[in-house]
Amino acid sequence: MRVTTPNDPARTEASHWPGEPEPVETAQETPEPKQTPWYIEIPVVVVLTLALMFVIQTFLGRLYVIPSASMEPTLHGESGSGDRILVQKVSYYFSDPEPGDVVVFKGTDSWNTGFVSNRSNNTFIRGMQEVGSWVGLVPKDENTLVKRIIAEGGQTVSCQAGDPAVMVDGSPIDQSYVLDPPTYPVDMTTGSQACGGDFFGPLTVPEGHYFMMGDNRTNSLDSRAHMGDELQGTIPRENFRGKVSAVVFPLSRLGGVDDPDIQR
DSSP states of 210-243 as a string? EEEE-SSGGG---GGGGTTSTTTT-EEGGGEEEE
pLDDT band at 179 (very low <50, low <70, confident <90, very high): very high
pLDDT tens-digit readout, 104-161: 999 999 999 888 888 999 999 999 999 888 888 888 889 999 999 999 999 999 999 9
* pLDDT, the chain, mean: 89
pLDDT band at 22 (very low <50, low <70, confident <90, very high): low
Pairwise pLDDT comparison (79 vs 178), residue with the higher score? 178
For the annotated catalytic residues, the residue numbers are: 70, 147
Q: Indicate the helix (H) or strand (E) that contains 40.
A: helix 38-55
Choice among 138-142, 180-184, 191-195, 218-222 with the minimum mean pLDDT: 138-142
* Half-sphere exposure (Cβ direction) of 38: Cα atoms closer than 13 Å: 0
The candidate with the shortest Cα–Cα distance to 222, out of 168, 149, 135, is: 149
Percent of the chain exceeding pLDDT 70 equals 88
Contact 139, 58 (CB under 8 A): no
pLDDT tens-digit readout, 212-256: 999 999 999 999 999 999 999 999 999 999 999 999 999 999 999
Radius of gyration of the CA atoms of the chain, in A: 33
Please give the Cα distance from 84 to 81 (Å, whole number).
9
pTM beyond 0.85: the answer is: no
The rounded Cα 4 to chain-centroid distance in angstroms is: 84
Please give the Cα distance from 222 to 109 (Å, whole number).
13
Q: Is the pLDDT of residue 206 over 80?
A: yes
What single string gives the DSSP state of each residue in 42-54? HHHHHHHHHHHHH
Which domains, and CATH codes, for the chain? Answer: 38-256 (2.10.109.10)
